[in-house]
Copies of this chain bind each other. A is one copy, B any other.
Amino acid sequence: MNAPTHPNHLTPAVKQREVSAECLAELQARFGANCSVAMAVREHHGRDESPFIDVPPPAAVIFAQNTQDVADAVALCAAHGVPVIPYGVGSSLEGHLLAVQGGVSLDVSRMNQVLSVNAEDLTVTVQPGVTRKQLNEEIKSTGLFFPIDPGADASIGGMCATRASGTNAVRYGTMRENVLALEVVTASGEVIRTGTRAKKSSAGYDLTRLFVGSEGTLGVMTEISLRIYPLPEAVSAAVCSFPSLEAAVQTTIAIIQMGVPIARVELIDAASVRAVNAYAKLDLAEAPLLLMEFHGSPAGVEEQAKTVQEIALEHGSVSFEWATTPEERTRLWTARHNAYFAALQSRPGCRAVTTDTCVPISKLAEAMLDSIAEAEASGLPYFLVGHVGDGNFHVGYLIDPNDPKEYETAEALNQRLVHRALTLGGTCTGEHGVGLHKMDFLRTEAGDGAVEMMRTIKRALDPHNIMNPGKIFSL
């Protein structure tokens, strides 16, 4: 396996393409004030939550208001061979938004309308700039909800682009399972539709799922139809602490293998619990924890919880506490969602090098525990959180950004962790995407043949390579 590109050494552009004065003038003529060349705006759009630095910002930022704007922007850029980088809220983690080949950023955050709520069909259609929290706020009165919850309040468009998931995926699936249909602007600026609101279909190639996870490299999503779910009649949450990470992991494995329809089962290691306690003013036991949630009828929830409690006890659980009120639950899950930021604050001035592997559930203990032993041995501070019900976990190595040695140590740990996951039949990214950071890992995971097939599809659908070029694979 080749070494992954070193973020601190990232060449500002593989092949920075020129955005001609003529192209810029045409964009400004078409978009007026919605085409900005202000450096602050460009710089804001030229970075994301990834560790990459030193990449020049895009030449301009276009704020699209509607599908026609997107189509015109892409068509105009296509005519000039200028890269287009779709931008939602800027929360992606693997360098997806960086203008490594130059070009313009196409900001769809103002396309933030919930277009229709079909409560009877359990579907909703939104514009790509709607965020997950906004969506849930807007459909609250219907008694329905959208379960996918990456850590950030990401845009639905961005979540489609990275095939995002989060804490509820163990029960409700990921964006892969929950996107029904799309309106897409292709690389030539044409508007097409994929899928319908029917729950299933055998009508030709699954273009919807080709776009979900394509990281902006095939087109721009301008409308998204999603599955939504009835709010469960009963919800209960529990916090269960364990004497060891292994006990917590083995409990999770047993829960999944027994087919308990648990809605959430999240692992937090002792260090992260400490960080979360400090950050969110909680007093959770500073031991490896499982945060769990059960959805169903009152009797169903009670039954699930009882089964899980028995499994946990068999694995030596130390305590099992209930969060019964909605307020307590919200506090707990907000704390979980803030674990990343809490961990960052635990070492002031640090940044995190994070991992995102996912393995078959029976391999979870092996994948996780050996990697944690290596992290311990390195002396670097780290945190561990995991959507363990899916076999997906994140280790974050907290490094001093000014100490190249710490970065090297973290990258070496990351390499070994991902390698181990791949050897165990897993994937290099469960939910963050490939972006710039995982291109070499993808090649190891998928093999040259499969990556070449992805490239072939990309070349066919985007012959001038203008859609977010240089991401997922080199091209």
Counting CB contacts under 8 A, is A120 at the interface? yes
Cα A165 to Cα B216 with chains together (Å): 31
Contact B202 A445 (CB under 8 A): no
Counting CB contacts under 8 A, is A122 at the interface? yes
Counting CB contacts under 8 A, is A464 at the interface? no
A427-B198, A453-B192 known; A446-B204 Cβ under 8 A: yes
Contact B200 A390 (CB under 8 A): yes
Cα A120 to Cα B292 with chains together (Å): 21
Contact A207 B449 (CB under 8 A): no
- Taking a contact as CB atoms closer than 8 A, the residue among B199, B203, B390, B450 that contacts A194 in the complex is B450
Those of A410-453 within 8 Å (CB) of chain B: 425-434, 438, 441-442, 445-447, 449-451, 453
Counting CB contacts under 8 A, is A459 at the interface? yes
Cα A433 to Cα B434 with chains together (Å): 32
Cα A162 to Cα B204 with chains together (Å): 9
Counting CB contacts under 8 A, is A399 at the interface? no
* Residue among A118, A200, A446 with most chain B CB within 10 A: A200
Cα A230 to Cα B258 with chains together (Å): 7
Task: Tell me how far the C-beta of A443 lies from the nearest C-beta in chain B, rounded to whole angstroms.
Answer: 10
Chain B positions within 8 Å of A120 at CB level: 253, 257, 360-362
Task: Tell me how far the C-beta of A150 lies from the nearest C-beta in chain B, rounded to whole angstroms.
Answer: 11
Those of A26-69 within 8 Å (CB) of chain B: none
* Residue among A174, A194, A427 with most chain B CB within 10 A: A427
Counting CB contacts under 8 A, is A196 at the interface? yes
Q: Give the residue name and chain of the B residue nearest to A425 (CB).
A: B197
Counting CB contacts under 8 A, is A454 at the interface? yes
Contact B186 A449 (CB under 8 A): yes
Chain B positions within 8 Å of A460 at CB level: 456-457, 459-460
Contact B360 A118 (CB under 8 A): yes
Contact flags A174-192 to B (C-beta < 8 A → 1, else 0): 1011000000001000111
Chain B positions within 8 Å of A230 at CB level: 257-259
- Taking a contact as CB atoms closer than 8 A, the residue among B209, B212, B390, B425 that contacts A196 in the complex is B425
Counting CB contacts under 8 A, is A472 at the interface? yes
A191-B449, A192-B450 known; A198-B300 Cβ under 8 A: no
- Taking a contact as CB atoms closer than 8 A, the residue among B200, B253, B303, B428 that contacts A430 in the complex is B200
